[in-house]
A and B are shown apart, each in its own frame.
Chain A
């Protein structure tokens, strides 16, 4: 009997050891299992980091164009700056889903791209000065949305806009705010990019376990969150009045630019689908991905070909959205049904991604941390 008790105690210790090692990394995941680490490497080295570097380049251009415009506030520099802003904004769509690591720590997305912005507060900041762009309460007074207002929304004509930065009594203050907003975006971007190109890449890739804090679990949750909240709801659902009794045409992305919301939407949709397929940034090559992982699991499970269903649904959403006007705000006002149709197709993929894919990957939805049966 004593031996039995000893065995009992010994095994308890072993378990205590094993269960506390939830986050250990297995460098050698065997030869014929799916290699999650290779998946993380592909995401980091071929998707996230190149996309971030490219975005950083666009931010640098934006900064240059801003300083040129601040030096010489004329129409030609305004047009150049506007182009740089739009390029960066489109480029942003490829990185916005990676709210992980430093980006998560600094609330990158919330400082970069909250919309609609509160123009009254922006104007107050400009006139009164003394604003702290690091404050969470100022998130809707900066980022791409604030630049949209500052470059496109101040007046109807280019000349009218330029006047705010040249002849207006507050011209210097406008210039300062514009520079400060761009500077803050660039600072945050630099922080995030430096982290990825520095230590974070390795810790991301090596955190290849299956616990709730592993890279893949977190990233998949981030991916779903972005798809649901920022693509489906933010870009289409909310302006189209899906969650309210009325429509909100002023809540579209790049509202003041007018003709950019579709381009931004498409860029984001494509980035999300490419992520799913493990497509390398700026190249047609593909690597290990959620798709290949699902396909691997499906060889065990022999059920419906989920990755194909998901890709088909991505394509259906893109086709449906191709009917939309370049200006979503105008579309909401004139023919909101087309917006609702696009929403419907986006919605269908929420079910495939959040229900079928999560279940197949055995990944738990965020923050559900409790005992099971």
Chain B
């Protein structure tokens, strides 16, 4: 990339609008999450939490967990206002990410996306224009380096494009799975419900979904296709919202893609906001250019470049593992693999005293919530962590020579359930690592593609 590119400047308005909408959406998400009672249900009630490898120190704080949510929601409002922006977005990133790290049961690509976006935003001049910071400081910059907006577009583009790449597999394209399972159960949706059981609908949705994801970043980039692309974005996300329980994410994506629109569009949005809140927009339209010192610039560009190198490579780490990705899920997370698999499982744990030979089975209800059981049964790292937890639990109760075995079955994309974990392996002896888990029973079928 030429150094000239990094000299280019552009209007700051799109990034300011993005900041405002992002902040509002985030605070709404927190309120929604709270109002559904999910803080209590997901972060306070469970007795045990599935931590991420390397982040075992992240713990829920009992009732004080609510305070993290308050901090997170308030910092999001500060971000929207552009008030003490740098510290606000940093706190938002940290508090939001902390919440996500408490229990990987709740992992969603959407949450990961928000963590990444807020991390990136720490380094962007999103508050130099149309913000309380700019107003208080008395200096507003109408122009900012072009790359600081392009990186946000790049991250959005990666999310879509990689989600599209992940769909290029035989289950999705040849068998129309898992949509063939999911869509017929949506028979009660108004208007389109009646066609949801037709096979052609499953294929139509599969193919248009893949094509949409792969092309939408490019259609948004070019002025001529932008209008139609935005309509597609709206239709696509609305449809996913109707069909699947995916919360705020469709709205967040729809609002985010506004970033691709012209400067003129964003000035009009800000003019609209100014009118409603009686803000003098002229105050910010200074025609001044925000620029970094050369050392700042070097550091920022290296950091952001490193961030994107990681983003581009991380989703391909699955290639380092043997076996079928959808089955083992080794390298599945953090890769924009969205709505790809219908997986359900059952894991029956057996505790054996290796000396006396006495044994008994575990009732998972005694230790895990229904949600945790559901996630645990289909993911080997959960199964391993739970097995170690069971060992600790029964050790405390005075049991000795504890061995933990699991009889587990998993169904993947409509295939008949099959044994998932080698039932002869004492899981207590196995340790979590980034290495391949040899005790996962190999997948008996083949899924071709990326």
Interface residue ranges, A against B (CB under 8 Å): 1, 4, 7-8, 11-12, 14-15, 18-19, 21, 24-26, 29-30, 32-34, 36, 208-210, 233, 237, 241-245, 297, 300-301, 303-304, 306, 309, 347, 350-352, 354-356, 358-363, 365-373
Contact yes or no, B184 A15, CB < 8 A: no
Interface locus among B234-242, B316-324, B434-442: B234-242
Contact yes or no, B411 A7, CB < 8 A: no
Q: Once the chains are docked, how many angstroms separate the CA of A172 from the CA of B291?
A: 96
Interface size bracket, B side:
35 or more
Contact yes or no, B370 A303, CB < 8 A: no
CB within 8 Å for A15 and B241 given contacts A1-B268, A242-B361 = yes
Q: Which of B393-450 contact A (CB under 8 A)?
A: 409-411, 414-417
Contact yes or no, A362 B254, CB < 8 A: no
Residues from chain A with Cβ under 8 Å of B36 in the complex? 369
Q: Which of B203-249 contact A (CB under 8 A)?
A: 227, 230-231, 234-235, 238, 241-242, 244-249
Q: Once the chains are docked, how many angstroms separate the CA of A360 from the CA of B346?
A: 15
B345 at the interface (CB under 8 A from A): yes
Q: How near does chain B come to A39, taking the closest CB pair, in angstroms?
A: 12
Partner of B370, one of A18, A304, A366: A366
Interface residue ranges, B against A (CB under 8 Å): 36, 38, 41-42, 106, 108-110, 180-182, 184-190, 193-194, 196-197, 199, 202, 227, 230-231, 234-235, 238, 241-242, 244-249, 251, 254, 261, 265, 268, 338-339, 342-346, 348, 358-363, 369-371, 373-374, 409-411, 414-417
Nearest neighbor of A361 in chain B, beta-carbon distance: B185
Partner of A365, one of B231, B246, B374, B411: B374
Partner of A33, one of B38, B187, B242, B343: B187
Partner of B360, one of A34, A243, A355: A243
Q: How near does chain A come to B265, taking the closest CB pair, in angstroms?
A: 6
CB within 8 Å for A367 and B371 given contacts A18-B242, A300-B199, A372-B108 = yes
Nearest neighbor of B235 in chain A, beta-carbon distance: A11
Residues from chain A with Cβ under 8 Å of B265 in the complex? 1
Q: Once the chains are docked, how many angstroms separate the CA of A347 from the CA of B423?
A: 15
Partner of B409, one of A36, A297, A351: A351
Q: Once the chains are docked, how many angstroms separate the CA of A63 from the CA of B189?
A: 48
Q: Once the chains are docked, how many angstroms separate the CA of A7 from the CA of B228?
A: 12
Contact yes or no, B184 A297, CB < 8 A: yes
Contact yes or no, B374 A362, CB < 8 A: no
Q: Once the chains are docked, how many angstroms separate the CA of A300 from the CA of B178?
A: 12
Contact yes or no, B371 A4, CB < 8 A: no
Q: How near does chain A come to B198, taking the closest CB pair, in angstroms?
A: 9
Nearest neighbor of A208 in chain B, beta-carbon distance: B188
Residues from chain A with Cβ under 8 Å of B238 in the complex? 11-12, 14-15
